[in-house]
Amino acid sequence: MLTRPRRLLSALTLLACLPLAAQAQIAVKAARLHTMGPAGTIDSGVVVITDGKIVAVGKAADVAIPAGHRVLEVPVATPGLIDAHSTVGLSGLYNTRHDSDQLERSAPIQPELRAVDAYNPNDRLVAFVRSFGITTVHTGHAPGEAVSGQTIIVKTVGATVEQALVSPLGAVACTFGPSAQKDGGKSPGTRAKLIAMLRAELIKAQEYDQKVNTAPADKKPERNLRLETLARVIRGEVPMLITAQRAQDIDAALRLQDEFKFNMILDGGAEAAMLADRLKKVNVPVIVHPSMMRAVGETENASFTTAAALRRAGLRVALQSGYESYVPKTRIVLFEAAIAAANGLTFEQALATVTIDAARILQIDDRVGSLEPGKDGDIACYDGDPFEYTTHCVGTVINGAVVSETRR
């Protein structure tokens, strides 16, 4: 006989394994529908989802709901929320050694480490964030090494990583600053050494890529997973996600980007407002630190108002749950957006940081981020203003399947 915790785990596993297509005929009626798309905000709105995709959005009085569709009626609905940077699925619910795969400390530069090989879709933390309306997560190797590894983009459903996958390689994660520096004579011990090591690897990747593409078949170099990954960055196929908090580290990141011309996403950016003009000039978006991140050390200038300051400067910004090396290792991005909404962002701007703007930065806005025909049927349902503390998430829909109805 199963104990209650084991019955719960079995139920969660069964839910994750259910074929989504079999549940993907649904219509969500909302007294207030925030589409974050061309339709804007609709009072008495409806979203119709067939075979996992949105087929109609509009006034409930104007949109016909096909026979056989389940109808879910809620006070407020938004697009499924997007956590633009997390370690969920690599860092687990219990914060113990057995469920902490987010950071490999054996070497400072390891772009070949694939998040797809470490992500655990069945970790209870995934289900927990899903219960707040978070449907898509950009997750993977954490900040803390010069190059800590790769990230992936996943839906918060599925029994295997393949079932959850949106993109197998979202970015290559780097860290500039004190948190990636070593003590005791280990390398890199300084900022200059860290950048020099990374520059050397990028130059090697350029040379490796050239040989692969130009050398005769019998003289091509042996495969090198590290250089293959960095070559994709240099070719512009994969962005480099650079976690940097101090202005001097953001400056170094921009200098490296100018030298190698890769696509860059700034992560963290506690002091990014000091370089907002330069970031805007080279069109670098910012995945801003969690609004409630502890402001100590290199993050001492983190602020509730960082997202608003960068938005006013004309930068595209998204919010994240982030990563900390102690409890909690991940936060709930809904709450971080709520704090940003109370500190300079309008409601629509704050919602955009965890929906459409996050999707655009991650280049997945053709699938998620807004409620529009043709996009994935991902919806978050609430019993009031999503950013009010007393509001509950009352339903989460992913690919047209109701995957959570817990009142959270």
Q: What is the residue-level pLDDT of the chain in tens, covering all 408 positions?
A: 444 444 444 444 444 444 444 458 999 999 999 999 999 999 999 999 999 999 999 999 999 999 999 999 999 999 999 999 999 999 998 888 888 999 999 999 999 999 999 999 999 999 999 999 999 999 999 999 999 999 999 999 999 999 999 999 999 999 999 999 999 999 999 999 999 999 999 999 999 999 999 999 999 999 999 999 999 999 999 999 999 999 999 999 999 999 999 999 999 999 999 999 999 999 999 999 999 999 999 999 999 999 999 999 999 999 999 998 777 678 999 999 999 999 999 999 999 999 999 999 999 999 999 999 999 999 999 999 999 999 999 999 999 999 999 899
Helix, strand counts (H, E) of the chain:
11, 16
Is 341 contained in some domain?
yes
Query: Bridge-partner residues for 242, per DSSP?
Result: 174, 266
Do 57 and 101 share a domain, yes or no? no
- Does residue 143 form part of some domain? yes
The answer to the question of residue 336 being in a domain is yes
Chain position carrying tokens 């109701």: 402
The reply to whether 93 and 220 lie within a common domain is: yes
Whether residue 188 is found in the same domain as residue 326 = yes
Torsion sign over Cα 332, 334, 335, 336: positive
Eight-class DSSP state of 65: P
pLDDT number for residue 68: 95
Reading the block at residue 104, the tokens are 């490999």
294: CATH: 3.20.20.140
Q: Which helix (H) or strand (E) holds 276?
A: helix 276-281
Does residue 103 sit in the same domain as residue 168? yes
- Give the chain's domain count: 2
pTM of the model: 0.94
Q: What is the pLDDT of residues 377-396, one digit of tens each?
A: 999 999 999 999 999 999 99
In this structure, are 100 and 199 located in the same domain?
yes
Domain match, 133 and 230 both:
yes
Strands (DSSP E) along 66-202, which ranges? 70-79, 81-86, 134-140, 147-155, 165-167, 172-175
Helical spans, DSSP H, in 75-224: 124-130, 161-164, 191-214
Which residue blocks in 73-135 are alpha helix, DSSP H?
124-130
Mind spelling out the 3-state secondary structure of 212-266?
Answer: HHHCCHHHCCCCCHHHHHHHHHHCCCCCEEEEECCHHHHHHHHHHHHHHCCCEEE
Residue 355 lies in a domain: yes
CA atoms of 311 and 75, how far apart (whole Å)? 29
Residue 237 lies in a domain: yes
Q: Are residues 54 and 148 in the same domain?
A: no
Q: Are 146 and 174 in contact (CB under 8 A)?
A: yes
Q: What is the pLDDT of residues 106-146, one digit of tens each?
A: 999 999 999 999 999 999 999 999 999 999 999 999 999 99
Return the pLDDT at 325: 78
> Tell me, what's the pLDDT at 2?
43
Q: Which helix (H) or strand (E) holds 31?
A: strand 26-34
Identify the residue whose tokens are 């994709």. Answer: 232
User: Can you list the alpha helix ranges (DSSP code H) found in 59-172?
Assistant: 124-130, 161-164
Q: Let me know whether 129 and 224 are in one domain.
A: yes
Note whether 207 and 350 are same-domain residues. Answer: yes
For residue 141, is it within any domain? yes
Residues in CB range of 333: below 8 A, 6 or more apart: 81, 82, 83, 84, 86, 129, 134, 290, 319, 320, 321, 354
Contact at 8 Å (CB) between 79 and 311? no
Domain span at residue 267 reads 81-362
Q: State residue 23's pLDDT score.
A: 57
The reply to whether 216 falls in a domain is yes
Asked if 143 and 264 sit in the same domain, the reply is yes
CATH at residue 65: 2.30.40.10
- 394 and 356 in one domain? no
The verdict on 395 and 254 lying in the same domain is no
Predicted local distance difference test score (pLDDT) of residue 97: 83
The model's pLDDT over 49-89, given as tens digits with 9 standing for 90+, comes to: 999 999 999 999 999 999 999 999 999 999 999 999 999 99
Query: Is 367 contained in some domain?
Result: no
Residue with tokens 């890529």: 209
CA pair distance 123, 91, nearest whole angstrom: 9
- How far, rounded to the nearest angstrom, does the alpha carbon of residue 72 sit from its chain's CA centroid? 27
